Structure 1
Amino acid sequence: MPPIKCDDTRFLSEPLITPSTTNEPVNGHVTHERQRNLEYTQEVPPGLIAYEHENPELFEKGAHWLQTTSALLALQLGWGLWLFPADFARLGWLTGLGCMITLATLTVYSGFLFSRLYATTPGAVLFGDIGYKAAGHFGRRIVYIIIYSLDATRCVILHLAAAQSLRHVFPEETRPPCWQCGLVVLVVASLIVQVRSLAKLSWVFSTGTGSQLIAIGIVLYELVIDPNPEAKRSPQAVTWDNLIPASVAVMNMIFAFGGQFAFIEIMSSMKRPSEFPRAVTLCTTLMGLLYGTVGVIGYWSRGDEIDGIVIFSLGDSPHVRVAAALILVQATSQYLVNLNVWTHNLLTLLARSTSEARALDIHCSTDHCPWKWARTSLFVVLYSYLISTSIPYFSTLVGLVTSSTYLLSAYGLPAWFSLRLLGGSLSVVERMLLCSLIPMVVVFSGVGLYSSISALINDVQSGEGGGWSSSHP
């Protein structure tokens, strides 16, 4: 049998490379799948980036790295940006800038790290494939629990973000209740998400990112021309008394930079996955500049009194309502990216679990049956609407999701898998970094989860939020 090239990215119902490093037979003989795995192992030396799509069909429909950058911006450059002034107010100048630069650096590094993990697992389509290669069925189950819980809950957050943006487009005295705005978002998202190709949706991502940039300009203008002359600022604002709010501020920053949960899925849809670090680096650089600008100017203008989403604390002027309309476009585009990724994940997992023969041909979102895609995407949109309307507390949901899933998916799991898969290719410094990340993630997750649950209980008991009620704040 001729050798199978490592560029063949067709995947089987189980990952192409098993977690075992030996060649034990299965039931007394070597299976065809295991034989393929052996040939992959022989032809892909450690550290070799050899995973481009030679299949003309896959290469033709894959996304260019600039299109991938646009998708990453739409995925990550979202409502977390509007929390940066409040984050700086809880952390202070130096601590806020230090946290932001650290997270930006880690995000760029994660792009290279995920790319190396992807190269060690030819044919990987889901992050669970990386987990299987690193730790067998246990690793894959951990990924499914954490990453796909994040996928599911992130759709809820973004549905709420789009609904709240729509509410603030209207004058305060005529704003419709949250459930009506959420219903409009449900209809729009259900229609557009039927376009399965991320490449074909790149214009939506670009429009959303452009709308966000214009909204940033409007908000910065309002902050600069109308600063608070009595604003109080501090180089370092973290004390024992405000340690929990400061921790929540760090969680908000992690949420703003977080997109690692979808890196493998997006990478598998590229023409050249080896160019993925280039897209992550460009995306993170742009995000860092924007986050820093909004955070610094917002904190300078309003000081430590600023709280929550800055755009909704600027009053009810026509300029602010225009900005709300623009971030509605952005929130919708970001929602569509997450709907696409989560629907793709659900259908791929279902195909594998039922041993569906067509699972052999699934490489990206366009390979799914249109009718199954429609049913699954409508299910995701429906539960996102119901939950977001029942629990309409944006900042609390962000903290809860970040502490319970974001930290683990962005740093904990990649660090663990890299230590298992990359092994000797890691430098001493890199190994120390990855080893230190794991306990830090556990500690920060615990603190954030405790704070978020307490805040959610208080929100529910207060009864404020205006979800299904016709009255609203």
Structure 2
Amino acid sequence: MATTVFAADDKHVDAHVGETSDNEVYDGASSVDTITALVAEDHKHDIKLRTMSWQKAAWLLAGDQVCLAIMAQSWSLSVLGWVPGIITMLVAGALFWITSLTMHKFIMKHPQIKDICDFGYYAFGRSRIAYEFTGVMLLANNILLIGFHVLTGAKVLNTLSDHSMCTVIFSVIAMIMGIVMSLPRTLRHVSFMSMFSAAAMAIAILLFLVFVGIEDAPLYGYGGDYPTLGPVRTYAFPLPGTTWVACMNAVLNITFLWVPQILFPTFISEMERPQDFPKALAVLAAISGILFIVPPAIGFRYLGQYSTAPAFGSLGVVVYKKASFAFVIVPTLVIGVIYANVSAKFVYGRIMGKSRHAHSNTVLGWGVWGAVMVAIWVIAFVFAEIIPSMGDFLSLLGAAFDSFFGFIFFAVAYWQLFRGKGFFTSSFRSLMTVVHIFVMICGLFLLGPGLYAAVEAIMADYAGATRPAFSCKNLSL
């Protein structure tokens, strides 16, 4: 069992923020012992959560990350140009790897962490305020993202059917499919779906690359139909007249793709051996390093200033567009399921606490789980219908939430890990300290100027024609 030291009068932390004393002492061996005890306790229940191998975790990570946002990166390159765009991608990838390892080290020190809210609780000195604040951000971020996937599902169905029905009906269809697919309680089951999700998105990307290479010219860009903006061309730096707000939103678009860590603590908490998470992370890093840079670069090469987000919209031949975009329906639903599962577990844990219904096959337990899941998808559906531009709101999410969940949280966690042990005791530790200072600066920059740019973009959209709430408007690419 875990090596644990308790003061006689210690008060235990609430069940949903860990089950250990404030004075619990961890070292490498005791952390492994704690994990063993947590797994053994979990396996006594009817519904066993801590069952994922690192291979299944890798599939889950790939299913979450191999997503439609990859196809928005050609647009980011068209705004920033080759040099700033590729540099931003490489820096974002390097910081993603480093901060994810820092997060894992911190969780290994506190293996009772179940989600990003617990992570915030411990990172900010066992602060209840940090826990509740992180909980609000978790739900806001995830529900808006689920709403984005509901809207994307409607966009796919619109495109494939040539807008044969009202868009709201397509959104309802996507929502119902999402609810049904979200019923499994464990991420191990969701990881099985993720295999098909990643494969479907890979096929969509491959078809896009083939089609964009063989077609004569793109269809259109945000500046006009081809050849309004002249022959397709690429450029090293932003074109003259490109605004700072446009550049900042392109950076946020890249950042949004590289910052999925809000889900990672929940993934790790359902692994049978959380210490193996770096293996799954290495698989994801290899996949991401290729897919996040190579397809967008090829897309920019052939679309140039006509790049749209997603890049499928710039394909000039309608049948090419439909053939490649059709496969996006699978990752759209599965990624929504992943975010819904993490969100529902947080809410469900707050409702059920440590009762037997929380981990047993009871009518009440499954009834509450189903009700929570339906509520999450319905709220997401409402957001999808009332927000005129989900793309701009994703930039807002990137600035407001990814600044914390991709940067600030992990800089603070690094400080907690090595506080009192020396931040410059070796050349490697010194380098990591400087990197994490830079991580904190990046987080604060996204939270400040980045948030300003996102709000400016939303205001500009509202100033023009906007999509009415619950509109039947055609959203086809």
> Shorter-chain-normalised TM-score: which range?
0.7 to 0.9
Partner of 2:409: 413
Matches within 5 A, 1:228-247: 228=217, 230-237=231-238, 241-247=242-248
Q: Aligned equivalents of 1:300 and 1:209: distance in 2? A: 24
CA-CA distance at 1:57 after TM superposition: 6.8
Cα pair distance change 1:338/1:372, threshold 3 Å: same
Cα pair distance change 1:203/1:366, threshold 3 Å: farther
CA-CA distance at 1:410 after TM superposition: 1.0
Partner of 1:294: 295
Partner of 1:53: 36
Q: Aligned equivalents of 2:469 and 2:331: distance in 1? A: 22
CA-CA distance at 1:432 after TM superposition: 2.2
Select 1:384's aligned residue among 380, 383, 395: 380
Partner of 2:325: 324
CA displacement, residues 10-50 of structure 1 (integer Å, 9 cap, x when unaligned): xxxxxx99xxxxx776xxx3457799637841x52599666
The answer as to whether partners of 1:111 and 1:276 remain within 8 angstroms in 2 is: no
Cα pair distance change 1:301/1:33, threshold 3 Å: closer
Q: TM-score under structure 2 normalisation? A: 0.84
Q: Aligned equivalents of 2:36 and 2:363: distance in 1? A: 15
Select 2:452's aligned residue among 450, 453, 459: 450
Cα pair distance change 1:396/1:207, threshold 3 Å: same
CA-CA distance at 1:122 after TM superposition: 2.8
Cα pair distance change 1:151/1:51, threshold 3 Å: farther
Partner of 2:398: 402
CA-CA distance at 1:158 after TM superposition: 1.9
Partner of 2:226: none
Cα pair distance change 1:222/1:467, threshold 3 Å: farther
Q: TM-score under structure 1 normalisation? A: 0.85
Q: Aligned equivalents of 1:362 and 1:419: distance in 2? A: 35
Matches within 5 A, 1:267-346: 267-315=268-316, 317-346=318-347
Amino acid at match of 2:147: V
CA-CA distance at 1:420 after TM superposition: 2.0
The answer as to whether partners of 1:227 and 1:301 remain within 8 angstroms in 2 is: no
CA displacement, residues 249-304 of structure 1 (integer Å, 9 cap, x when unaligned): 11111111221001101100111111111112211221221121221111110112
How many residues matched? 445
Q: Aligned equivalents of 1:368 and 1:460: distance in 2? A: 44
Partner of 1:5: 2
CA-CA distance at 1:306 after TM superposition: 1.7
Partner of 2:426: none
The answer as to whether partners of 1:128 and 1:141 remain within 8 angstroms in 2 is: yes
Cα pair distance change 1:306/1:345, threshold 3 Å: same
The answer as to whether partners of 1:151 and 1:338 remain within 8 angstroms in 2 is: yes
Cα pair distance change 1:239/1:281, threshold 3 Å: farther
Structure 1 unaligned regions, length at least 5: 7-15, 18-22
Partner of 1:460: 462
Q: Aligned equivalents of 1:400 and 1:199: distance in 2? A: 31
| 2:161 counterpart of 1:177 | no
Partner of 2:153: 162
Cα pair distance change 1:388/1:32, threshold 3 Å: closer
Amino acid at match of 2:211: E
Q: Aligned equivalents of 1:238 and 1:437: distance in 2? A: 29
Structure 2 unaligned regions, length at least 5: 218-229, 424-428
Cα pair distance change 1:98/1:181, threshold 3 Å: same
Cα pair distance change 1:277/1:380, threshold 3 Å: same
| 2:114 counterpart of 1:125 | yes
Cα pair distance change 1:36/1:414, threshold 3 Å: closer
Select 2:176's aligned residue among 183, 187, 204: 187
Partner of 1:202: 191
Q: Aligned equivalents of 2:341 and 2:364: distance in 1? A: 11
Cα pair distance change 1:293/1:176, threshold 3 Å: farther
